């Protein structure tokens, strides 16, 4: 076992090997899914005319929300000058890059012609399209955070700060445009409006806190956590609790305004989550695991117990994955015409991801883990001692 | 007049005449080489059953044929990142297939469910008002084939055209006016 190395560093524990094995299996499943997609095209997916966006879109959102969230939380340190948060900067930005790349990989398997997009985004851009802005701004954001990471590695705080600010602005702009991709659609009353661009930024910040707690729980699983790190993590877990509280508040008003007047389109969509075919995903994952349980755990311990905070973060991340799925799928299940063939007895459309889609989602997770393991081997992601 | 007047192509539909024979669907698929195979979600036009009205023995079955509305304010054009969906000067909503990346946002933006991914071209497709036939001075295939003349096609900017005269004489409605799309399909009521 001790002969296995990455970048000259020994893989010398069972923990490391377990992570590598998990990553390898996930990547392999992803490659099988990808191969099937390359052979069969979109026929390998369960998306169709009335539900053209499936779990790959929601997983893309899951990843890019994570990236924006990590950027937001890390910018508290080297952009907004809250010294305490500077220790988490490098690891957070590394993971922001990795989650963004994983998101791009997943959506490349969903968009029919990703390379054509790169060409015609430049040749014939449509400045009225939120997707154009999202794609372009995420591209810029990637450049900024890559440079920011480079300056962090070189311990150039001045330039890391400038690029952090640029990344922060591009990230927030890109991410709110992702919300606008949904929010601009007048045809879909449940998505339409200013709520989603704003909610996406808030839920990104929640996700950022959760991922940082998880990353450090793994980093210091087998060694003593330095005091300045644990103090920062306690602050982050308190921030996490506060943001979860605000998110619950947002969610409550989304639910109430959707059902209050019984407006067509909005009401039926909300009822899919409240008591319809996706209620298990809404109540069990999005609300309970995603928000309520972590909120209660953090409040009960005042955020001081980092073990509990780690469990809260894990619970929240699982819930948030389903939260993205609920958002994307539910918005499409209310048919625009009542008598289309795909409408079932309930009067609703339905969607269940295919095995190929699930395999690509798992592959995306595998890619994310693989890149993180490699980043840890090639770069020192711990804070510099000064 | 040296300069030709700008045209605005529209379709006037008289739903009361529709007998749900689906000749429009067949003619469209044949004219535009759409092979749906076994996929029931592949079509450019469709007929919605409005159900049975009245009480026995005075019953009436109503149908509402429809397709891309060639909106004057088309949401599908706004959301397309690569400008693959665009509007022609004559008011047609068209797709430049080579620029389409199949992000499918236009499918979701269309309030009429008029768009789908073509199994032949592998990009997003929809009714073109048979632009290639209009260019030859012919009518769209669905208009040409309809046995009961449900559909009338023409230039709304020409006050003497049949569509202009029909809309001047009859009450009419458009589908989902609240979406602000300003459709080019007018239904006689």
Residues of B in contact with A184 (CB under 8 A): 78-79, 109
**pLDDT value for A341:** 76
Range of the domain at A68: 45-337+366-378
**Contact yes or no for B104 and A52 at CB 8 A:** yes
Q: Which residue of A has its CA nearest to B126?
A: A49
Chain A contact probe: residue of B69, B81, B126, B175 with most A CBs at under 10 A: B81
Q: Which of A116, A135, A340 sits opposite B113 (nearest CB)?
A: A340
Per-residue DSSP letters for B79-122? H-TTS-EEE-TTS-EEE-GGG-----HHHHH-TT---EE-TTTS
A181 inside domain: yes
**pLDDT value for A3:** 56
d(CA A222, CA B11): 72
| A49 vs B: CB within 8 A | yes
**pLDDT value for A5:** 67
A79 inside domain: yes
Mean pLDDT by 10 residues, chain A (386 residues): 60 79 96 96 94 97 97 91 90 96 96 92 95 96 96 90 95 96 96 96 97 95 90 96 97 96 94 96 97 97 93 97 97 89 85 97 97 93 74
The distance of B105 to chain A (nearest Cα, Å) reads 8
Q: Which of B41, B98, B179 sits opposite A187 (nearest CB)?
A: B179
- Which of A287, A188, A282 is closest to A244 using CA atoms? A287
CATH code where residue A192 lies: 1.20.1630.10
A308 inside domain: yes
Any idea what the Cα angle at residue B92 is, between residues B89 and B96, rounded to 5°? 95
A33 inside domain: no
Chain B contact probe: residue of A44, A122, A177, A337 with most B CBs at under 10 A: A337
A17 inside domain: no
**pLDDT value for A9:** 64
A26 inside domain: no
> Could you read off the pLDDT of A11-47 as tens digits, one per residue?
667 778 888 999 999 999 999 999 999 999 999 999 9
Sign, CA dihedral A43-A49-A50-A53, equals positive
Contacts of B106 (CB under 8 A, 6+ apart): B76, B79, B80, B85, B115, B124
d(CA B49, CA B68): 17
| A127 vs B: CB within 8 A | no
E strands in chain B: 9-13, 45-55, 58-67, 85-87, 93-95, 116-117, 124-125, 151-155, 172-173, 185-188
Sheet holding B151-155, edge to edge: B151-155, B9-13, B185-188, B172-173
**Contact yes or no for B78 and A128 at CB 8 A:** yes
**pLDDT value for A345:** 81
Residues of A in contact with B108 (CB under 8 A): 52-53, 185, 187-188, 331-332
**Contact yes or no for A185 and B80 at CB 8 A:** no
Per-position pLDDT tens, chain B of length 189: 445 678 999 999 999 999 999 999 999 999 999 998 888 889 999 999 988 889 999 998 999 999 999 999 999 999 999 999 999 998 899 999 999 999 999 999 999 999 999 999 999 999 999 999 999 999 999 999 999 999 999 999 999 999 999 999 999 999 999 999 999 999 999
- Which of A63, A89, A71, A85 is closest to A369 using CA atoms? A63
Q: Where along chain B do its domains lie? A: 9-188
**Contact yes or no for B48 and A337 at CB 8 A:** yes
Cα→Cα distances A36→A24, A46, A60, A132, Å: 18, 13, 19, 29
**Contact yes or no for B81 and A121 at CB 8 A:** yes
d(CA A326, CA A338): 22
Residues of B in contact with A188 (CB under 8 A): 108
Number of domains in chain A: 1
> Could you read off the pLDDT of B53-89 as tens digits, one per residue?
899 999 989 999 999 999 999 999 999 999 999 999 9
At the topology level, CATH places domain B9-188 in: Alpha-Beta Plaits (3.30.70)
Number of H helices, E strands in chain A: 13, 2
A25 inside domain: no
């Amino acid at each position: 076992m001790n002969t296995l190395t990455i970048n000259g560093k020994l893989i010398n524990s069972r923990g490391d090997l377990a992570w590598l094995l998990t990553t390898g299996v996930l990547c392999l499943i992803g490659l099988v899914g990808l191969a099937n997609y390359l052979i069969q095209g979109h026929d390998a997916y369960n998306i169709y005319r009335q539900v053209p966006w499936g779990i790959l879109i929601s997983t893309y959102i899951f990843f890019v929300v994570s990236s924006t969230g990590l950027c937001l939380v890390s910018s508290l340190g080297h952009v907004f000058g809250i010294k305490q948060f500077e220790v988490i900067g490098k690891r957070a930005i590394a993971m922001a890059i990795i989650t963004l790349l994983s998101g791009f990989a997943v959506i490349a398997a969903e968009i029919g012609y990703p390379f054509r997009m790169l060409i015609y985004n430049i040749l014939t851009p449509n400045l009225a399209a939120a997707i154009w802005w999202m794609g372009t701004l995420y591209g810029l954001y990637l450049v900024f955070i890559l440079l920011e990471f480079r300056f962090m590695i070189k311990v150039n705080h001045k330039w890391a700060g400038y690029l952090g600010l640029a990344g922060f602005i591009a990230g927030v702009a890109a991410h709110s445009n992702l919300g606008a991709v949904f929010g601009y659609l007048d045809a879909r009353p449940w998505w339409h409006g200013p709520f989603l661009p704003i909610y996406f930024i808030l839920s990104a910040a929640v996700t950022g806190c959760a991922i940082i707690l998880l990353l450090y729980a793994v980093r210091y699983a087998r060694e003593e956590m330095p005091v300045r790190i644990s103090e920062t993590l306690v602050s982050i877990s308190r921030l996490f609790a506060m943001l979860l509280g605000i998110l619950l508040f947002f969610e409550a008003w989304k639910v109430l305004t959707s059902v209050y007047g019984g407006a067509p389109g909005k009401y039926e969509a909300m009822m899919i989550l409240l008591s319809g075919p996706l209620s298990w995903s809404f109540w069990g994952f999005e609300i309970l695991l995603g928000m309520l349980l972590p909120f209660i755990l953090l409040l009960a311990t005042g955020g001081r117990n980092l073990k509990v905070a780690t469990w809260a973060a894990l619970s929240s991340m699982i819930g948030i994955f389903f939260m993205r799925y609920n958002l994307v799928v539910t918005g499409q299940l209310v048919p625009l015409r009542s008598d289309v063939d795909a409408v079932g007895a309930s009067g609703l459309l339905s969607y269940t991801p295919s095995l190929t889609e699930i395999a690509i989602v798992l592959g995306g997770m595998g890619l994310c883990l693989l890149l993180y393991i490699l980043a840890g081997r090639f770069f020192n992601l711990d804070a510099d001692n000064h | 007049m040296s300069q030709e007047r700008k045209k605005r192509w529209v379709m006037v539909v008289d739903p009361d005449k529709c007998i749900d024979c689906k000749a429009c669907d067949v003619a469209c698929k044949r004219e535009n080489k759409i092979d749906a195979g076994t996929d029931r979600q592949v079509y450019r036009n469709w007929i919605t059953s409005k159900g049975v009205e009245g009480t026995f023995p005075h019953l009436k079955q109503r149908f509402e044929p429809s397709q891309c509305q060639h909106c004057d304010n088309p949401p599908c054009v706004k959301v397309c990142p690569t400008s693959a969906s665009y509007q022609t000067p004559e008011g047609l909503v068209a797709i430049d297939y080579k620029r389409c990346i199949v992000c499918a946002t236009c499918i979701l933006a269309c309030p009429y469910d008029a768009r789908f991914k073509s199994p032949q071209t592998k990009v997003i497709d929809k009714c073109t008002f048979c632009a290639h036939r209009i260019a030859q001075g012919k009518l769209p295939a669905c208009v040409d084939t309809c046995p009961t003349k449900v559909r009338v096609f023409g230039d709304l900017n020409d006050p003497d055209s049949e569509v202009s005269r029909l809309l001047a004489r009859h009450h009419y409605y458009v589908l989902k006016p609240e979406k602000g799309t300003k459709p080019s399909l007018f239904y006689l009521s």
